[in-house]
Amino acid sequence: MCGIIGYVGSRETLPILLKGLSCLEYRGYDSWGIATIHKGAIAIEKDIGKVKDIDVPAISSLLKGTIGLAHSRWATHGKVTRENAHPQTDADAGIAVIHNGIIENYAELKNELENKGYLFSSETDTEVVAHLIRDSYKGNLREAVLCAIRQIEGSYALGVICRDVPDRIIAARNESPLVVGIGNGEQFIASDVPAVLEHTNRVVYLENGEVAELSAERVSFFSLDGKEIEKEVHTITWNAEQAQKQGYPHFMLKEIAEQQIAIEQTINERMTDDEVLLPELLMSEAEVKDIKRVIIVACGTSWHAGLIGEFMLEEIAKIPVEVEYASEFRYRDPIVEKGTIILGISQSGETADTLAALREAKRKGARVISIVNVQGSSITRESDAVLYTHAGPEIGVASTKAFSSQLAVLYLLTVFLGKIRGVLPLQQVKNRIRDLRLLPLQIQSMVDDTTEVERLAARFSATQHALYLGRGINYPIALEGALKLKEVSYAHAEGYPAAEMKHGPIALIDKKMPVVFIATKDDRTYKKIISNIEEVRARGGIVIGIVSKGDNEIVAKTDYHLIVPKSSYILTPLLAVVPLQLLAYFIAVKRGFDPDKPKNLAKSVTVE
């Protein structure tokens, strides 16, 4: 969603804010805005468009000062216009506010404020906050912000500056992420850690209902009732360089290429040759044996990882699993009995629906375990146990390395639970671990040579429709391949279980329709997939096969193919997804789109 960055210190703020904005732009990029305080006035520049298109020389002379706020917007309330870009201010531009989230009672508040004579100049819910603060301001900005947020319902991460207090930033959070970066004689606020990493690796995560008051020298924290509170300072282990492109044209390509290392970092410390170690699960043997059911909740690509996790956990650990869209789970009345584990999967750890689903499950008494990439994010703080993926910062909007790292954690969890529950003998544990160890290098081999996939991307760069079909554990990979293509190249693609094709989608097949089959060689569905390929060929469709190395039988039945190394059935998805990620990436680039910032999307979906 929107990106927030703020700075107070002794350096010129504009370059710091611009750099921070470009780190955060993946969160939202339909418009931007910056405010600084200089010589007793708040200066604001804002516009529609991307951060990279800001005319920096033109705004440099207008935005002087050592304190400021900046915002990149992903529109919720109000169209994409200059007026609706943040910062929003009160009527005389004495208070400037940036906001990520949705003020749910903004219409009532706006009505009340208009009745008091406040004039509105935008369609945003954020402007309400600026007027509310002005309405309560009696010389103490923090008190005024506290008073305003006590009236607000909904989600917000707020940054506020005031002309009359030119050395302070007030920040507040409810349900939208906000971190405070603790520097030396300078302090920062940001929606996400990478935006401040260049300056400090010491951060404090604001919790719901908390407020921070920042001056160059210190940061103080307060609860909603105004009492000062102590907060823990976390040290981040990622460095700023990891959040840069490092010579790659796009983050998406860099992150696809980083899958080897992401998986290694995720698995290496967690296994010996004959054992998986997951102390962070915080469960006794008896509790593991008592698990009756796992419900996985997630959204988007993380939900696809959950579908594969279902195969893993049921087949190997013999635990019944259901996989739910977090957004649906939370609005049903799900049955959560004793012995039910709720497993949330999320790269960002901030997805509003997943967070809400986990809360709902917790309320019903479930043990909540999460698989998350971003340290200290909201979901991690509300889970009973966290299994981190150590994929490093994922900046490209389309999830790639986080997905494969999630699968690696699900696999580790499966082997761990299977062993404790007595359904996985030692030799099988060893074999499973051996298979996993081979995987990072197998992935790397596909990333090292992209000639074939680039050729295919050139051939299909103009395609408007595609079908992705897979069976068994590769069916979620069909969904994921189609999602990747849709989101970065804007071509319409549908993922389907291959056998379901006959029940509808087959009507779409003609000689213009590319059909991507995930047709890796295995004992279960391989023959059936061949029959499905024949059905498509019989209708003139173009068959693109994702095939196992050395499988010439299937190659003969495809028009085009991409080869993946051989692995065990259960690990095949981690390999099969890689050429599909690359295909989507290269098609997007060939079509002239920026795969890191697909239109209408945002990296962390922190609104419902």
Instruction: Give contact residues for ligand F6R (rule: CB under 6 A).
Output: 299-302, 346-348, 351, 354, 398-399, 483, 487, 604-605
Q: Which is nearer to ligand F6R, 354 or 520 (CB)?
A: 354
> CB of residue 229 vs ligand F6R: minimum separation in angstroms?
28
> CB of residue 441 vs ligand F6R: minimum separation in angstroms?
25
Active-site residue flag, 557? no
How far apart (Å, rounded) are the C-alpha atoms in residues 43 and 510? 59
How far apart (Å, rounded) are the C-alpha atoms in residues 315 and 424? 10
Q: Are strands 367-372 and 385-388 parallel, antiparallel or unpaired?
A: parallel
* Local structure of 317: helix, strand or coil: coil
Tokens 């004992």 map to which residue?
523
Q: Which is nearer to ligand F6R, 298 or 518 (CB)?
A: 298
Q: Nearest to residue 82, comparing CAs of 39, 128, 124?
A: 124
Complete DSSP assignment for 59-87: HHTTS-SSEEEEEEE--SSS-S-TTTSSP
Residue 285 burial class via C-beta count within 10 angstroms: exposed 0-12, middle 13-18, buried 19 and up? exposed
> CB of residue 145 vs ligand F6R: minimum separation in angstroms?
28
How far apart (Å, rounded) are the C-alpha atoms in residues 391 and 131? 42
> CB of residue 483 vs ligand F6R: minimum separation in angstroms?
6
How would you write 554-588 as a 3-class SS string? HHCCCCEEEEECCCCHHHHHHHHHHHHHHHHHHHH
Q: How far is CA 294 from CA 267, 291, 300, 368, in A?
A: 22, 8, 19, 10
> CB of residue 175 vs ligand F6R: minimum separation in angstroms?
14
Question: Which position among 2, 23, 162, 299 bears the catalytic label?
Answer: 2
Active-site residue flag, 2? yes
Question: Which position among 19, 401, 597, 603 bears the catalytic label?
Answer: 603
Indicate the helix (H) or strand (E) that contains 466: strand 465-470
Percentage helix, strand, coil for the chain under 3-state DSSP, each rounded to 5: 40, 25, 35
* Local structure of 490: helix, strand or coil: coil
Q: Nearest to residue 68, comparing CAs of 219, 178, 186, 176?
A: 186
Which residues on adjacent β-strands are paired with residue 238? none
CB 3 within 8 A of CB 24: yes
**311-321: b (≥16 Cβ within 10 Å) or e:** bbbebbbebeb
> CB of residue 379 vs ligand F6R: minimum separation in angstroms?
8
What is the CB neighbour count within 10 angstroms for residue 477?
28
Q: Which is nearer to ligand F6R, 155 or 302 (CB)?
A: 302
Residue nearest to ligand F6R (CB): 300
Q: Which is nearer to ligand F6R, 358 or 546 (CB)?
A: 358
Indicate the helix (H) or strand (E) that contains 168: strand 165-174
Residue 332 burial class via C-beta count within 10 angstroms: exposed 0-12, middle 13-18, buried 19 and up? exposed
> CB of residue 501 vs ligand F6R: minimum separation in angstroms?
24
How far apart (Å, rounded) are the C-alpha atoms in residues 235 and 238? 9
> CB of residue 504 vs ligand F6R: minimum separation in angstroms?
24
Sheet holding 385-388, edge to edge: 321-325, 293-298, 340-346, 367-372, 385-388
Which residues on adjacent β-strands are paired with residue 495? 468
> CB of residue 8 vs ligand F6R: minimum separation in angstroms?
30
> CB of residue 74 vs ligand F6R: minimum separation in angstroms?
12
Q: Which is nearer to ligand F6R, 210 or 596 (CB)?
A: 596
How far apart (Å, rounded) are the C-alpha atoms in residues 368 and 521? 36
The CA R_g of the chain, rounded to the nearest whole Å, is 25
What type of residue sits at position 515?
A: V
> CB of residue 518 vs ligand F6R: minimum separation in angstroms?
17
The first and second tokens of residue 201, run together, are: 């690796």
Q: Which is nearer to ligand F6R, 8 or 457 (CB)?
A: 457
User: If you ran DSSP here, which 8-state letter would residue 206 be given?
Assistant: P
Report the catalytic residues: 2, 603
